[in-house]
Chains A and B, each alone.
Chain A
Amino acid sequence: MAAQMTDAHRRFLQVLMSHGIMEGSEARKLHRRCCEIHKVYYAHDKLDDFISTINSHLQPLFMQIRKGMSEGDGRAHYALVNLAETEITKMASDYTENELELFRKTMDLIILSENGFASSTDILNLTDQLKTKKMKKKEAEQVLKVFVEDKWLSERNGEYTLHTRCIIEMEQYILSNYQDVARKCNICHSLAIQSQICESCGIGMHLPCVRKYFRAQTEPRCPQCNDFWSCDIPGMNRIDSQSPSKTGRAEKSFILGTRRC
C-alpha cells in the first residue's frame, strides 16, 4: 500500500532532481536531512522504503528513482529516470537535433568499442557524417563538454564513456536497440559498457563485479567455463607467475579496462 508523500519526500525528490544522480552515501545523508527538516519519522535503514513511496507517486508520470552501480568504483547510485519507452525522450528537450545525432553516434562508438570508451578524435571525426546539420569540430568539442556537465558522458584522459546516470536511465533502451552487441554482466546481469571478457567463452563482467567475485578465490576461474581468468583483476596483486607477454597485455587491460584478456 502506497504511503503518503510528505514534504520530506518532496524535498528529497527536488534535490535529487537538481543533481540528476546521487551517490549512495549522499542519498542517505539527504534522506536524514529531509526527515529532520520536516520532522518526519526517520530510520537509517529505510531509505529504500522512502524511495518506494516516492516511486509509487512517480509511476503514473512514467518516472522512477532507480538504483544502479558505477562501473568504475562499484558504488551504488540513485538517479531519477524517465521510463517512457520512446527514444531518449528526456534528452530530446534539452538538445538540438544535430547534438542528439552526435550523442547517438557517440553512443554507438562506445557500445561497439572493445573497452567501452571512444576517443575524442574518433568522436570529432563523426561530425562530418552528421545528417541533420553539419557541426564544426570546435562546436562538437563544446557539445561534448555539455554532455559531460549534464552527466550523460564521462571523460577520462581524452576518452569518453557513458556516465553512470546515462547507463541507469538508458539501460533498457540500449539493451533493446543494441541487442546483438550490448553485453550483460555475468554476475549482476545488468548492462556492462566497460567489462572484462573471458577469452575462452566470451562472457563479460563489470570490473567491480570481477573484483568482488574473485576476492575470495586464490585461483581466479571463469564462472561459466572454468578456464583460468587471465585478465588482471582490479585491486588485487597477482601472486602466481605469468609469461611476460601475457602479463603485459593483462596490465594494459587493468589500466584501460580493455575487454580482451
Chain B
Amino acid sequence: MSQRKRSKGSGLSQGGDGDEDFNQSQMPTHSQVQRNLERRSQDQVNQKVSELVQFLLVKDQKKIPIKRADMLKKVIREYRDVYSEIVNRAGKTLQQVFGLQLVEIDTKHHIYILTSDLPRAEGENLHRDNQTAKLGLLLIILSFIFMKGNTAKDGAVWEFLRRLRVQPGERHEVFGDVKKLVTEEFVRQKYLEITPIPLTDPPEFSYQWGPRAAKETSKRDVLRFVAKIQGKDPTFWMSQYNEAEATP
C-alpha cells in the first residue's frame, strides 16, 4: 500500500528546494519512518549517519549552530523520509564515540548545537589557543550580565568594558574589531542574545545569555569566577548565590 506523505508535492522533495519547503512541510511520523527504513539498505542509511556525524562535527568546531534545514538539504537529501532515524543514530554515535550531545536549542526553528557530556576538568584547554582569549572576554561579559540580574543594557556593558580598556571604536590588539566580535560573532554562536529595547530613542539594547552559554557554563561557575576575582566568597552576593544554587 502506498504511503500518502503529507509533505508538499508527491514523492520525495529535491535538495534544491528552498528552505521553506523543509520548514513548513510535515516530517514523517515515527511509524512511517520505521516503514520507510525497511525499503532502504542498511549500508546506505549507515552511510548517511556517518555523513551527518561529520557534518555536525565540522559545523560545531566553528561553533556555528546547525539548522535542521541545512542538515536536510546538505546531508540527508533524498533520505528525508527516514530523517528522524538518521538523526537519532547520529546522536547516539556522537555520544558513544565523542562524548558529545546533540541539543536542540531552538525548538521552533529547529536549531542544534553540540555540547560535551564529559564533566568540565580544571585547567583544561579544550579550545585552540587563539580562541581562549575570546572566551575570556565572553566570560567576563556573561559574568557582568548575570551579576546585573541576567540582563544588562548595552550602555552598561560597554562602559564596563571601557574600564577594562576594551573599546568598540578602537581596534583591539587581541580581539580586533571588538564590536563585531561581541555583537555579531558571539550572537551568531548563540553565546549572547542582544535584543532591542522597544520605545527607546536613541535605540538601546539589552544583553542576555544566549542558549549556548546556558549549556556550556552555569550560573554557579560564573559566580565562582566572579568571587575568585574579587577575593570574596560567593555568598557575599546573596541573591545571585541563591539563584545560582537554584539553577541546575
A and B: bona fide binding partners? yes
A residues contacting B by CB (< 8 A) are: 5, 7, 10-11, 13-15, 17-20, 33, 37, 54, 57-58, 60-63, 82, 84, 89-90, 93-94, 149
Chain B residues closer than 8 Å to A84, beta-carbon distance: 54
Instruction: Please provide the chain B residues from 106 to 152 with a CB less than 8 Å away from any CB of chain A in the complex.
Output: 116-118, 121, 124-128, 130
Given known A-B contacts A10-B97, A37-B121, A61-B97, A90 and B116 have beta carbons under 8 A apart: no
- Distance in Å: Cβ of B101 to nearest Cβ of chain A: 12
B47 nearest in chain A by CB position: A62
Question: Contact: A61 with B54, CB < 8 Å?
Answer: yes
Chain A residues closer than 8 Å to B121, beta-carbon distance: 11, 33, 37
Question: Contact: A14 with B55, CB < 8 Å?
Answer: no
| Interchain residue pairs with CB less than 8 A apart (24) | A11-B99, A11-B118, A13-B98, A14-B99, A14-B116, A14-B126, A15-B124, A15-B126, A17-B98, A18-B126, A18-B128, A57-B97, A60-B50, A61-B50, A61-B54, A61-B97, A63-B54, A82-B54, A89-B54, A90-B54, A90-B58, A93-B58, A93-B59, A149-B130
- Distance in Å: Cβ of B53 to nearest Cβ of chain A: 6
Chain A residues closer than 8 Å to B127, beta-carbon distance: 18
B residues contacting A by CB (< 8 A) are: 46, 50, 53-55, 57-59, 61-62, 93, 96-100, 116-118, 121, 124-128, 130
Chain A residues closer than 8 Å to B97, beta-carbon distance: 5, 10, 13, 54, 57-58, 61
Question: Contact: B58 with A10, CB < 8 Å?
Answer: no
Chain A residues closer than 8 Å to B100, beta-carbon distance: 14
Alpha-carbon distance between A20 and B127 when the two chains are bound, in angstroms:
10
Chain B residues closer than 8 Å to A93, beta-carbon distance: 55, 58-59
Question: Contact: A94 with B58, CB < 8 Å?
Answer: yes
Alpha-carbon distance between A94 and B63 when the two chains are bound, in angstroms:
11
Chain B residues closer than 8 Å to A15, beta-carbon distance: 124-126
Question: Contact: A10 with B118, CB < 8 Å?
Answer: yes
Chain A residues closer than 8 Å to B55, beta-carbon distance: 93
Chain B residues closer than 8 Å to A62, beta-carbon distance: 50, 54
- Pairs A-B, 5 closest by C-beta atoms: A10-B99, A93-B58, A61-B50, A57-B97, A18-B126
- Distance in Å: Cβ of B177 to nearest Cβ of chain A: 13
